[in-house]
Chains A and B, each alone.
Chain A
Amino acid sequence: MSHLDEGTLHALLDGELELHEVREIQAHLGSCTACDTRLQAAKDVFGEADRLVASVQFPGSVKAPRAEVERVEETLPTAATAAPRRERRIEPQVVGSVDEPQVMILPDENTWPERRRRLLAAGRWAALLLVAVGAGYIASEVRKGAQPAAANLEQAPTAFVSPEETSRPDTTTAAPARAYAGSGSDSAQNRTPLVPRDEAAVRRRSAAPPPPEPRPQQTQNQSADVAEPPAPAAQNEERQVAPAEVDAATQEDIRAEAAEALAELDRQRRRDRAAAATAAIDQARREELEAEPAPAPAPPPPRTLEQRAGVYLRIGLDEAARQLGRPVHVIEGLNSEFMGLVQGRQSPGADSGRPVVRVVYRDSQGRMILLDQQRIRPGQNWPSGGTQWTVGEMGLRLHGDAPGAVLQNLRPRVR
């Protein structure tokens, strides 16, 4: 056999080699001083490296909060979350440890009433937008119908209409204006957007020539306007003027409202994103700070084979041989899962002050089979009988999940 390379030596120390390979190596080590020396050096490096890595411990305790997975899951746009989701309760997130200055990440108030209020507000804006667009459409249709009559009025400064003009009896033009304002009983008030807000515009309009036919001023009950039939000329003029005014005034409002609605939707998206981003922050830390009742304890994780076997340290063949002072016993024909050390008091008859080497097997039915071994010291009484016996200075014991008959059958195969 050629000399052992570093990788093979470390595989040996890691317990990663097959039994036949270990036997070949042991045979070689017995005759090759150089490899034996290298094995000793590898053991030093092996132990020192593991100690160094293990010395970097996570400060404090790592907690796996029970609800963390659900929270992570909820933040993701997966197929599962595309289904109707239950409402998440987003709370103020606190970052940092208790002793650090606390930084609050507040995804705004995102409770259900608050979200409902925002959604309703967005809905109102959308409805308003729809009504305004409808009004504009009706106004443009009306203007198309009034084109011939409007030709006579093109010279007049029709961009602005006085309150007096707007208060003339006119049911046709009042309709869209009222539709926009939402009420017909106070049309003078509701038509105020038709009044020019610019003083210069008012002055220009005052300097303009008076209308060709003075019309009767109406300052009485505005609701009567709706009932009274308008004069045809006045109707034509109003058709020309008022829809344009409605267009000009409402378009500006529509744009402002649409911009506001879009901004509100954008804010809503940002709030949702902020809520999602902060949802994954360590819940345990928040719970401590918020002094909320602790959640029900998480179900314990399934026990690993090491835990079931009671092994507190996995070791390789070499370390096992060092512990026992001779090669470890194994069950012929079974491949071991691993071997390790258990406390002496866990194995009846063993010296409780010294560890026991335990080789862990699993049979074809998945049952755990354990082979304990400890070097017997003078004065130590290792009970014998059944699946517990001695070989020279070595005390052996077979036990595990398998029935006693199976263990009895395995005993002759222990080498």
Chain B
Amino acid sequence: MTADLTQLFNLYYEPLVRMIYRRTGDRDRAEDLAQETFARAVSAPPDNPRPWLFAVALNLVREDGRRATTRGRRLELLRNEPDGPDRGPEAELERNEETGRVRSALATLKERDREALLLKAEGFDYDEIAATLGLAKGAVGTTLARARRRLVEAYRAQERGKHVAS
């Protein structure tokens, strides 16, 4: 079991952390939740690990978000990431602003749309997205289309707002 779990960990830890980070914007939280996901995999080894792991991770993100809201401690983390490549302060600022706008645009999506989009970004095909989110496969294309359109619309709206403000 350990060998299997190690293999799963090597395969999916990084994609899980990346997806959760895109969802939460909190690096430490992403790592914590990814590890919690694997902890649950230890106690209940899944048959079909990839959809299972991502579904559990998304559930944990949702639970975590609810707890954070309840406690009134939702924080927007604006970090100076110490181990990123050195792009210079202006480029770093620009990158942070861009990331912030994308995350804000992602936040405007419905939960299901956002999760489908994040799973697609991790290379999930429609069958896997359907299995992970409990959707019919035929609905995945529509869900993704709506998510992409709304993401782009929200992002462009922020871009316009930024230009108007400046």
Contact = CB atoms under 8 A, between A and B. Distances in A.
Do the two chains belong together in a single complex?
yes
Interface of A: 5-11, 14, 16, 42, 45-46, 48-50, 52-62, 64, 66, 68-70, 72-73, 75-76, 78, 80, 97-99, 280, 282, 298-302, 314
Of A54, A58, A282, A299, which is in contact with the most chain B CB atoms at under 10 Å from its CB? Answer: A58
A73 B5 contact: yes
Contact of A6 (B21, B36, B142): B142
B155 interface: yes
Interface string B116-131: 0110110101100000
Interface in B1-28: 1-2, 5-7, 9-11, 13-14, 17-18, 21-22, 27
Contact of A54 (B2, B81, B103, B121): B121
Given A68-B35, A97-B83, A99-B82, A76 B42 contact: yes
Interface of B is mostly: helix
Interface stretch (B53-61, B63-71, B146-154): B146-154
A57 B122 CA distance: 12
Interface in B96-138: 98-99, 102-103, 105-106, 117-118, 120-121, 123, 125-126, 138
Contact of B9 (A7, A46, A69, A300): A69
Contact of B83 (A61, A298, A299): A61
B151 A301 contact: no
Contacts of A300: 10
Nearest to B7: A301
29 contacts: A5-B142, A6-B149, A7-B143, A10-B141, A11-B126, A11-B140, A14-B141, A14-B144, A42-B145, A45-B149, A52-B152, A53-B106, A53-B117, A56-B99, A56-B106, A58-B27, A58-B30, A59-B79, A64-B9, A64-B10, A70-B6, A73-B5, A78-B42, A78-B43, A97-B82, A280-B35, A280-B39, A298-B6, A301-B10
Contacts of A56: 21-22, 99, 102-103, 106
Given A7-B145, A49-B152, A72 B38 contact: yes
Given A58-B18, A73-B2, A301-B10, 17 more contacts: A7-B139, A8-B141, A10-B148, A42-B145, A45-B152, A49-B148, A53-B102, A58-B30, A62-B17, A64-B14, A70-B6, A72-B39, A72-B42, A73-B5, A75-B39, A298-B6, A302-B11
B84 interface: yes
A75 B36 CA distance: 11
B154 to A, nearest CB: 10
A6 B149 CA distance: 10
A70 B81 contact: no
A372 to B, nearest CB: 22
B82 A98 contact: yes
B82 A45 contact: no
Interface residues of B, number: 56
A14 B117 contact: no
B82 A50 contact: no
Contact of A52 (B38, B105, B138): B105
Given A59-B84, A73-B2, A52 B146 contact: no
A70 B42 CA distance: 10
Task: List 3 tightest A-B contacts by C-beta distance, closest first.
Answer: A7-B142, A59-B81, A7-B141
Contact of A55 (B27, B43, B99): B99
Nearest to A285: B31
A280 B39 CA distance: 9
B39 A298 contact: no
Contacts of B98: 55
Contacts of B36: 280
A16 B126 contact: yes
A50 B121 contact: yes
Nearest to B14: A62
A56 B81 CA distance: 13
A70 B155 CA distance: 42
B42 A6 contact: no
Contacts of B99: 55-56
A48 B142 contact: no
Contacts of A16: 125-126, 140-141
A180 to B, nearest CB: 48
Given A14-B144, A69-B2, A69-B9, A48 B152 contact: yes
A49 B142 CA distance: 15
Contact of A53 (B5, B83, B143, B151): B151
Nearest to B117: A53
Contacts of A66: 6
Contacts of B83: 59-61, 97
B42 A52 contact: no
B1 A80 contact: yes
Contacts of B43: 76, 78
Contacts of B118: 53
Contact of B151 (A8, A49, A57): A49
Nearest to A71: B35
Nearest to B138: A7
Contacts of A8: 141
A64 B141 contact: no
Contact of A60 (B84, B120, B121, B149): B84
